[in-house]
Structure 1
């Protein structure tokens, strides 16, 4: 919107409070604050929702892959051939054999449910989620036949375990006797403690070499599943489709959507709902801008009439009042963007502060899955939020600007 010199001067004067116009200025200021809070809330919430989904997906895929070839009955005897076929499939970048079995763990009378995961040593040391998140001990201690395992940090807290502590793993698959099957108890030593940041993993995982897991579960040379990583997680079904007939009768393929369908679907729905609910804050602020402009037009009716008699066109009046309204909205939007990024930067400190003052646990990892509040800002979304805020402000300035341009100077100045 291009304004000439006198139009800019008048718009600038109308943006500042004049005599007897403090109430109009107050309403405009409240409108600007409303836009600021709406934009800040949208940027903050959408970034946190994006971060939550991305962080959860990255860590879930980092430990479970994009898909798994699950053997019928929990056993894949011919897993080496399946690994070769998977690695030869276009789009599959990794195929990792795994053993995974829910069991019980015990230490000093404390008992907890655990998830034993057996992996080849190169996969244990090569997984960045495990390798880069060791909080105690070392993966160098974990070797086949050493009797040492790596456990999650939350599980260590539950059992009261530390590096070097003996942990007993109890398996229901034991020796068969005339009185039934006796549970099998095998002792291990905690060689490392890790914290990947996903509560369910940190609270249950016990990672050990593949050979030790096969011995514990009496699987012989079998594994439970083969984990697959692909070039595109969103197209994983199309990528692994050629592998389906090759494993028919031995196993089935489940991708990350099937394994976590309820969680990721809930996140998607919540993300959309939160966006539209928080957008109402911007809409309400835009209505306030509309009302403040209408009051400004009524207060400046005589000035408008004088300007019209001096040669100001209807277009000039429209441009002046639209500039006033859009400026208020733009200033509120820019302040909201700044506030949003400040809130994102200090998000965890704010959560911790509120928890300290209220005495309530607002971010319980057992409920939120992740141990810290994540955030990932999408520049396209930020631009869309800015465009929506300024665009709605622009639309709401049209009526008062048209009303100002429609002022009849003859009627206004008849009795002056």
Structure 2
């Protein structure tokens, strides 16, 4: 909005408190702080919700792929031919054989439910989710037939195991004897302990070479599934459609959307709800701008009448008060963005500090899946929040500006 020089002078004058206008300035300051807090809260919450979705997607999809071809009965025979056909499908980046089976493990008398995951050694070493997440030992020590495994950090803590410990994995479907089925028990050395940051994985995963998993589960040369990654996770269904006829007789294709539908839909609903609720907070904050401008117009009625007699137009007065109100809102928006980004940067420190003061665990990984509070700020989303707050601030100025422009100098100055 372009203002003339005198309009800028008057607008700046009205932004500062005059004699007897301390209360109006206080209300305007409260308005600025309220807008700042509303914008900061909205940026922090939206960034955290984005971070949740991104972290869960990266780690869940990183270990489970964008889709899996799962054999009927948990077994996929003649899988090498299907694996080659899958890799040749347009849009498929990688395809890896995989065995995954819930079993039991024991160490020093402690028994825990685990999820045994058999992978080819190159796939283990090149997995982006596992890369750099080893906290002890080395996944490179995993070799077919060597009797070594990698386990999650929380599973290691629960069992009391460490690198070099011998844990026993129990397969209930063991050998059949005249007295019944005897569970199959095989001891493995813990070669590595990893922490991917997802509680459910860190407390249950036991990773071993695929050949060892086949021996443990008595699968022979069969596998359980083929894990796929595509060029576009959001379009995974269309990419894998040509594979459906080839897989139909042997298994089913399940993509990441189906496997984690409830989780990601819940996050999306919470994201929308939080955005609406916090937008209402900003709306309430700009009502303070409306209140302060109304009081300012009433306090400056005589000044406005004099300006009108000196030739100031209605449009000029409208612009002045619109600029005053939007300036308050703009300062609050800028301060809110700065405060929000600072809060995001120090988010984990804030949580740790509050936990120290209250003695309460505010971030239980067993409930919230992730070990740390994630955040991912979207610049376009921040811009959208700023524009929304600026729009609310602008709308709040229209009524006071209209009242100022409608001032009748004759009525005001009649008895002066």
TM-score by length of structure 2 reads 0.99
Distance 1:57 1:190 in 2: 28
Q: 1:284-332 deviations in whole A, cap 9, x for unaligned?
A: 0111101110110001000000111111111110011111000000000
Q: Identify the residue that residue 92 of structure 1 maps to in structure 2.
A: 92
Contact 1:351 1:362 (C-alpha < 8 Å) held by counterparts: yes
Partner of 1:194: 194
Q: 1:24, 1:359 → 2: CA distance?
A: 42
How far apart, in 2, do the equivalents of 1:179 and 1:318 lie? 94
Alignment match, 1:300: 300
What secondary structure does 1:175 align onto?
strand
The aligned counterpart of 1:387 is 387
Q: Using the alignment, how far apart are the partners of 1:38 and 1:128 within structure 2?
A: 37
In structure 2, distance between residues paired with 1:301 and 1:109: 85
Tell me the equivalent position of 2:265.
Answer: 265
Give the superposition deviation at 1:184: 1.2
Q: Give the Cα separation in 2 of the matches to 1:34 and 1:81.
A: 64
Distance (whole Å) between structure 2 residues aligned to residue 19 and residue 105 of structure 1: 78
Alpha-carbon deviations, 1:5-49, whole Å to 9, x = none?
111111111111111111111111111111000100011110010
Q: CA RMSD in A?
A: 0.7
Which residue number in structure 2 is paired with residue 364 of structure 1? 364
Contact 1:151 1:193 in 2 (8 A): yes
Counterpart-to-counterpart distance in 2, 1:337 and 1:131: 34
Residues 345-372 of structure 1 deviation map (CA, whole Å, 9 limit, x = unaligned): 0001111111111111111111111111
**How far is the alpha carbon of 1:85 from its aligned partner?**
1.0
Q: Deviations over 1:176-204 (max 9, x none)?
A: 12332121111111000000111111110
Residue of structure 2 equivalent to 1:2: 2
Deviations 1:370-392 (A, max 9, x none): 11111111111111000000011
The answer to whether the Cα contact below 8 Å between 2:58 and 2:129 also exists between their aligned partners in 1 is no
Shift in Å, 1:113: 0.6
Equivalent residue runs for 1:15-414 within 5 Å: 15-414=15-414
Q: Is the contact between residue 32 and residue 328 of structure 1 (CA under 8 Å) also seen in structure 2?
A: yes
Equivalent-residue separation in structure 1 for 2:133 and 2:62 (angstroms): 13
- Which whole-Å CA distance do the structure 2 matches of 1:139 and 1:65 have between them? 20
Distance 1:412 1:140 in 2: 87
For 1:177 and 1:262, the matched residues in 2 are separated by 43
Residues 118 and 211 in structure 1, CA contact (< 8 A), matched pair in contact too: yes
SS at match of 2:240: helix
Distance in 2 (CA, whole Å) between partners of 1:247 and 1:120 is 22
Greater Cα shift, 2-11 or 201-210: 2-11
Separation in 1, partners of 2:69, 2:215: 22
In the alignment, the residues of structure 1 paired with residue 189 and residue 128 of structure 2 have an alpha-carbon distance, to the nearest angstrom, of 23
Kept in 2: contact 1:43–1:382 (CA 8 A): yes
Q: Which runs of 5+ in 1 are unaligned?
A: none
C-alpha separation between the residues in 2 aligned to 1:205 and 1:79? 24
CA distance in 2, matches of 1:251, 1:277: 45
Contact 2:76 2:250 in 1 (8 A): yes
Contact 2:40/2:336, CA 8 A, preserved across alignment: yes
- What is the aligned residue count? 416
CA shift digits 1:235-284 (9 cap, x unpaired): 00001111010011100000001100110000000000000001111100
2:119 and 2:65 mapped to 1: Cα distance? 14
Q: CA deviation at 1:141?
A: 1.6
Work out whether residues 131 and 139 of structure 1, in 8 Å CA contact, stay in contact via their aligned partners in 2: no
User: Secondary structure of 1:168's partner?
Assistant: strand
Deviation at 1:131, TM superposition (A): 2.9
CA contact (8 A) 1:92 1:231 kept: yes
